[in-house]
């Protein structure tokens, strides 16, 4: 029985839901379920993903230029077409001089100018080759490395902890003081996606290492480098040493291990080998005293290699990194060789994306919010923003109610959890304040120079945060990206406009479908503030323990259950999911699914949902959830995701439903079926 307070919360939530709940109150219901995609030969209790998507999977074909395909891919293709039209319009010459539209148009046109790129050959590389050739000793090597330090925005999304430069930097609020920004120094320097590609002893990894060495030699030959094969072997040997110094993905995501405050003077003592004075001066960080060394022992190991490995090998390595980092704006031979390894060998993709698709991506990377501002003006009206903001409120209230009802959590910890929930900074569609690109110089016809200047601009923009208070309203995703993110340190969420369109959100379909698709994503991102990482930050963003010992022990026990659940998924005989690596995302999936289901039920105002096409409302909810994970992947891409991605494979994310009691009732799941969990084994974290 609900307490009076719980009843009030339920009433408040149900009264606030206005965006999509009305569809559930009528018998004339349109749902978004793909009935033809269901494989009714599969028992939902044996493999729910295959039941929901099996017939679709049998006929679906992955486009030749993609490593995977599904709902997200389809929506990305649609958005890319929309952005292409906008960029081509901006490139037509009608944009106001000096405007953002002119900048994005000129950048796009320059990238598309393949004839001009071919005519220049490798000439754009020569100034940097000259700088590399001038390196004579550890001092000048350190200075060059410092000059190449760049902002590693991927780390902000917790998707990646490596950068093609030896180190990356992430500038955000300090672990111990949310009122100031500090630079977090991160490990980097690898040409392959992760340390495991260098050190794992398996036939697959050995084959990729062989292909990578051949690729490095081919790139050096294209650039006219003498003794390419021998230099490729030496470069690979150096990268292997770099990889051995790296932290694993799991260790890199442990924020307590990452909490290593270093003064600038500490680097010379704790990480000798690199001339840190020269490095920081060249990186424009010589006046910065406070740092966080995210992977401290890796920084020590990489610095030691700077001092121990011959300078000539470093110079060859730096030349390779320069070419690889800018292959997309070099002649076609470089583009093709780059794709042959990174596209085909690593991901199994047979065909490179059309030039215009790559141009859209490059322009978005360089001038993301300038492109996004144009995009939302046409494709994301205020009405859409208002509807999603209402759903965010719905899901926040549902999560609030779930916390209130937790029997295992003490009142003290509940209070702190609810304080944190109340401080969430939620961005829907696009940022409140657009980024200023006036200082970025874009020259039409200079694709290579535009890329370099955009990298430098982004780095300088991040450096400018030092000495200022953190801006929780800053976005790390562009509005036209099909994705969403939670930033645990800032306790902030971004829901880009491109994600908030059919089939993920469709005002024309019923509540069950929408809450299961976009609603679970909203709940997922809210839940990240309370996952294995987010739960370690308080309402103000301090890395602080706000739990009682008993509550934390219960949380850790539930998390361990979820780790074991995902460890048991083994898509290949030689490779299984890593439940610890994917724990944060799995907790967010589970919490988001549960909160979205609660919000959906409250939207019905206590009435049962109608049955449509033989499906109850609950059945439509869970089917919609599984179908929004609809994905087909090439085997190499799937293997790469298991090793490097913090997310589990989509088919296992869909099977998260096995932890909710309502799923069992909706599909009459039996104990003898493969996904069945006894009630005591169904994981509830939030």
Residue 112, Cβ neighbours under 10 Å: how many? 20
- Average pLDDT for 192-217: 96
Place of tokens 């990894």: 205
Tokens of residue 162, six digits: 């490596």
pLDDT at 25 over 50: no
pLDDT at 130 over 50: yes
Question: What confidence score (pLDDT) does residue 215 get?
Answer: 98
- CA-based nearest residue to 559, from 539, 533, 525, 577: 533
Residue pLDDT, tens place only, 349-368: 999 999 999 999 999 999 99
Distance of CA 554 to the CA centre of its chain: 29
**Residue 537 backbone phi and psi in degrees, to 5:** -110, 140
Instruction: For residue 102, give Cα distances in angstroms to 106, 241, 666.
Output: 6, 45, 54
pLDDT at 2 over 60: no
Task: Give the pairing of strands 150-151 and 68-70.
Answer: unpaired
Question: What confidence score (pLDDT) does residue 10 get?
Answer: 33
Tokens of residue 514, six digits: 């929408």
Report the C-alpha gap between 427 and 431 in whole angstroms.
6
Q: What is the dihedral of CA 467, 469, 472, 474, to 10 degrees?
A: -40
| DSSP secondary structure, 109-138, as one string | HHHH-HHHHHHHTTGGGHHHHHHHHT--SH
- Average pLDDT for 5-29: 36
Question: What confidence score (pLDDT) does residue 602 get?
Answer: 86
Question: What confidence score (pLDDT) does residue 686 get?
Answer: 87
State which H helix or E strand residue 493 sits in.
strand 492-496
Contacts of 568 (CB under 8 A, 6+ apart): 576
Please, are residues 517 and 504 in contact by the beta-carbon 8 Å criterion? yes
Question: What confidence score (pLDDT) does residue 5 get?
Answer: 33
pLDDT at 15 over 90: no
Locate all alpha helices (DSSP H) within 443-548, ordered by sequence.
Answer: 447-463, 511-514, 520-528
Q: Which domains does the chain have, with CATH numbers?
A: 4-60+380-433+473-681 (3.40.390.10), 124-329 (1.10.1380.10)
Q: pTM value?
A: 0.89
**Helix, strand, coil proportions of the chain in percent (round to 5)?**
55, 5, 35
- Average pLDDT for 385-409: 90
Banded model confidence at residue 489, pLDDT cuts 50, 70, 90 = confident
Question: What share of the chain has pLDDT > 70, as a percent?
Answer: 94
**Helices then strands, each counted (H, E), the chain:** 32, 10
Report the C-alpha gap between 586 and 68 in whole angstroms.
21
Residue pLDDT, tens place only, 411-451: 999 999 999 999 999 999 999 999 999 999 999 999 999 99
pLDDT at 299 over 60: yes
- Average pLDDT for 566-595: 95
Question: What confidence score (pLDDT) does residue 236 get?
Answer: 98
Report the C-alpha gap between 169 and 472 in whole angstroms.
19
pLDDT at 671 over 80: yes
Instruction: For residue 609, give Cα distances in angstroms to 22, 29, 58, 606.
Output: 11, 10, 32, 9
Banded model confidence at residue 163, pLDDT cuts 50, 70, 90 = low
Report the C-alpha gap between 642 and 649 in whole angstroms.
7
**Residue 245 backbone phi and psi in degrees, to 5:** -80, -20
- Average pLDDT for 250-277: 96
Instruction: For residue 8, give Cα distances in angstroms to 15, 161, 188.
Output: 11, 44, 51
Q: Name 168's bridge partners.
A: 150, 186
| Residues in the chain, overall count | 686
Please, are residues 335 and 118 in contact by the beta-carbon 8 Å criterion? no
Residue 646, class by beta-carbon neighbours within 10 Å (0-12 exposed, 13-18 middle, 19+ buried)?
buried
Banded model confidence at residue 12, pLDDT cuts 50, 70, 90 = very low
Residue pLDDT, tens place only, 182-200: 999 999 999 999 999 999 9
Question: What share of the chain has pLDDT > 90, as a percent?
Answer: 83
Question: What confidence score (pLDDT) does residue 508 get?
Answer: 86
Q: Which of 10-19, 89-98, 612-621 has the lowest mean pLDDT?
A: 10-19
Report the C-alpha gap between 59 and 34 in whole angstroms.
14
Distance of CA 32 to the CA centre of its chain: 27
Banded model confidence at residue 467, pLDDT cuts 50, 70, 90 = very high
Report the C-alpha gap between 315 and 317 in whole angstroms.
5
Please, are residues 195 and 161 in contact by the beta-carbon 8 Å criterion? no
Report the C-alpha gap between 234 and 171 in whole angstroms.
33
- CA-based nearest residue to 35, from 61, 62, 57, 56: 56
Question: What confidence score (pLDDT) does residue 28 get?
Answer: 57
Contacts of 226 (CB under 8 A, 6+ apart): none
Residue pLDDT, tens place only, 507-561: 889 999 999 999 999 999 999 988 888 889 988 888 988 999 999 999 999 999 9
Tokens of residue 341, six digits: 């390894």
- The rounded radius of gyration (Å) of the Cα atoms in the chain is 26
Contacts of 490 (CB under 8 A, 6+ apart): 172, 173, 425, 470, 472, 541
State which H helix or E strand residue 464 sits in.
none
Q: Name 173's bridge partners.
A: 181
- Average pLDDT for 29-36: 89
Question: What confidence score (pLDDT) does residue 164 get?
Answer: 65
Residue 255, Cβ neighbours under 10 Å: how many? 18
Report the C-alpha gap between 625 and 619 in whole angstroms.
10
Sign of torsion over alpha carbons 402, 407, 409, 412: positive
Report the C-alpha gap between 462 and 169 in whole angstroms.
9
- Average pLDDT for 217-245: 97
Report the C-alpha gap between 82 and 100 in whole angstroms.
18
């Amino acid at each position: 029985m609900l307490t009076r307070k719980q009843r009030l919360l339920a009433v408040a939530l149900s009264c606030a839901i206005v965006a999509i709940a009305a569809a559930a109150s009528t018998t004339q219901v349109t749902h978004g379920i793909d009935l033809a995609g269901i494989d009714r030969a599969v028992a939902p209790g044996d493999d729910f993903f295959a039941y929901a998507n099996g017939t679709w999977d049998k006929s679906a074909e992955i486009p030749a230029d993609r490593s995977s395909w599904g709902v997200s891919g389809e929506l990305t293709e649609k958005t890319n077409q929309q952005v292409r039209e906008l960029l081509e319009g901006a490139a037509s010459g009608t944009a106001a001089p000096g405007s953002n539209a002119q900048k994005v148009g000129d950048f796009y046109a320059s990238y598309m100018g393949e004839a001009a790129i071919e005519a220049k050959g490798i000439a754009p590389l020569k100034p940097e080759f000259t700088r590399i050739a001038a390196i004579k000793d550890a001092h000048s090597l350190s200075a060059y490395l410092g000059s190449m330090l760049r902002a590693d925005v991927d780390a902000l999304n917790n998707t990646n902890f490596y950068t093609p430069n030896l180190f990356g930097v992430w500038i955000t609020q300090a672990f111990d003081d949310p009122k100031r920004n500090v630079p977090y120094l991160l490990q980097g320097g690898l040409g392959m996606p992760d340390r495991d590609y260098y050190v794992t002893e398996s036939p697959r990894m050995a084959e990729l290492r062989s292909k990578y060495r051949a690729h490095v030699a081919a790139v050096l030959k294209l650039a006219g480098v003498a003794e390419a094969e021998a230099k490729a072997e030496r470069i690979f040997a150096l990268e292997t040493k770099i990889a051995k110094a790296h932290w694993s993905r799991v260790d890199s995501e442990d924020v307590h291990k990452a909490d290593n405050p270093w003064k600038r003077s500490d680097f010379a003592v704790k990480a000798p080998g690199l001339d840190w004075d020269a490095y920081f001066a060249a990186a424009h960080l010589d006046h910065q005293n406070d740092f966080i060394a995210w992977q401290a022992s890796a920084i020590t190991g990489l610095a030691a290699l700077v001092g121990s490995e011959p300078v000539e090998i470093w110079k060859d390595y730096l030349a390779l990194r320069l070419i690889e980092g800018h292959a997309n704006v070099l002649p076609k031979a470089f583009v093709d060789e780059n794709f042959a390894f990174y596209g085909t060998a690593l991901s199994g993709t047979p065909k490179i994306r059309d030039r215009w698709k790559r141009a859209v991506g490059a322009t978005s990377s360089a001038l993301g919010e300038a492109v996004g501002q144009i995009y939302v003006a046409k494709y994301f009206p205020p009405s859409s923003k208002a509807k999603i903001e209402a759903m965010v409120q719905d899901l926040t209230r549902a999560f609030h109610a779930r916390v209130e009802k937790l029997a295992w959590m003490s009142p003290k910890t509940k209070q702190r959890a609810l304080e944190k929930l109340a401080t969430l900074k939620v961005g829907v569609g696009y940022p409140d304040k657009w980024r200023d690109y006036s200082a970025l110089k874009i020259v039409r016809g200079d694709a290579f120079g535009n890329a370099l200047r955009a990298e430098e601009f982004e780095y300088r923009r991040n450096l400018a945060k030092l000495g200022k208070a953190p801006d929780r309203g800053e976005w790390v995703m562009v509005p036209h990206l099909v994705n969403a993110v939670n930033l645990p340190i800032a306790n902030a969420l971004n829901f880009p406009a491109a994600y908030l369109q059919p089939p993920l959100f469709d005002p024309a379909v019923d509540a069950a479908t929408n809450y299961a698709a976009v609603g679970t994503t909203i709940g997922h991102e809210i839940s990240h503030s309370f996952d294995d990482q987010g739960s370690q930050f308080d309402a103000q963003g301090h890395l602080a323990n706000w739990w009682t010992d008993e509550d934390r022990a219960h949380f850790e026990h539930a998390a361990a259950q979820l780790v074991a659940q995902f460890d048991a998924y083994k898509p290949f005989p030689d490779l299984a999911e890593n439940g610890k690596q994917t724990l944060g995302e799995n907790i967010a999936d589970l919490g988001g699914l549960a909160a979205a289901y609660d919000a959906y039920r409250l939207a019905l105002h206590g009435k049962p949902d109608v049955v449509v096409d033989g499906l109850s409302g609950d059945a439509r909810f869970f089917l919609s959830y599984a179908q929004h994970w609809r994905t087909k992947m090439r085997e190499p891409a799937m293997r790469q995701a298991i090793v490097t991605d913090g997310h589990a494979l989509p088919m296992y994310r869909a099977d998260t439903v096995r932890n909710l009691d309502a799923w069992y009732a909706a599909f009459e799941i039996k104990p003898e079926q493969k996904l069945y969990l006894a009630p005591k084994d169904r994981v509830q974290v939030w």
